[in-house]
Amino acid sequence: MRTRPTAPFLLAALVLLASCGPLVQIGGNDTPPASLLTLRATATPVIAAPAAKPATVMVVVPAAAGALQTLRVPVAVGDVELQYLVGATWSEQPNRLFRRVLADTIVARGLIVIDPRGPSPRADMTLSGTLTEFGLDVRTPDNPHVNVRYDAVLNSTNGTLIAARRFDASAPVAGKSPAVVGAALNDAANRVAGEVADWVATAKK
């Protein structure tokens, strides 16, 4: 005559299964996007006489406005209305992609960029800020364009404010496909990064 498993035995078995992790990954079978958008720095390294001690800068991942805390591309369709561009997906959140463009562009200006994620000496300056705009604007139908806005803050080693400034760039778009919009955003992001890099390079520590 068989005996039924007791309640404690069943509970122990459930705990053991739970400790092995999920048996099915929710969302693992979703159809991947056809392509992903990314950003690439286009700055050309400046050839100059080597400095005795190049300034070091820690570039922090910018904070992101709420509409940018996603892998999608926001589209301003009205003064108080946003949509997202169909079929457009970033490979990473745009503020992280923009941080890399900033860092690469600053390096091209002859400065040394310190990675905040690893053990490293303290930087002479810290660049932080907020990415407030990074998307498509179609509020004027005959003038669709992308906007990039970065509110930058530059601090010294001890946290003293050196300077703060807003940087803006826009670029026209010839269409609304993800590839066209992505290329325009890459252009505008690099122009902003170039202005930021020049600003940082001439800032007083």
The predicted pLDDT at position 11 comes to 44
End-to-end CA distance of the chain: 85
CA–CA dist 108, 32 (Å, integer):
35
Quote the pLDDT of residue 26. Answer: 36
The radius of gyration computed from the CA coordinates of the chain, to the nearest angstrom, equals 23
Of 3.90.79.10, 3.40.50.10610, 1.10.287.110, 3.40.50.2300, which CATH number belongs to 54-201? Answer: 3.40.50.10610
Residue with the larger pLDDT of the pair 157 and 197: 197
Q: What is the mean pLDDT of residues 32-45?
A: 90
77: Cβ–Cβ under 8 A, 6 or more apart, which residues?
83, 138, 139
Confidence of residue 51 (pLDDT cuts 50, 70, 90): low
Give pLDDT, residue 116: 77
pLDDT at 48 exceeding the cut of 70: no
Q: Which residue has the higher pLDDT, 119 or 148?
A: 148
CB of 180 closer than 8 Å to CB of 134:
no
Separation of alpha carbons 188 and 148, rounded Å: 6
199 vs 4, higher pLDDT: 199
Looking at residues 149-172, what average pLDDT do you find?
96
Q: Do strands 161-172 and 145-156 pair parallel, antiparallel, or not at all (unpaired)?
A: antiparallel
Residue with tokens 């300034």: 55
Helix axes 94-108, 178-201, angle to 10 degrees: 50
Question: The pTM is what?
Answer: 0.82
- The larger pLDDT score, comparing residue 142 to residue 19, is at 142
| Model confidence pLDDT, tens digit, residues 129-150 | 999 999 999 999 999 999 999 9
Q: How far is CA 112 from the centre of its chain?
A: 20
Mean of per-residue pLDDT scores for the chain? 85
Question: 91 Cβ partners below 8 Å, 6+ apart?
Answer: 36, 37, 38, 71, 97
The answer on pLDDT for 119 being more than 80 is no
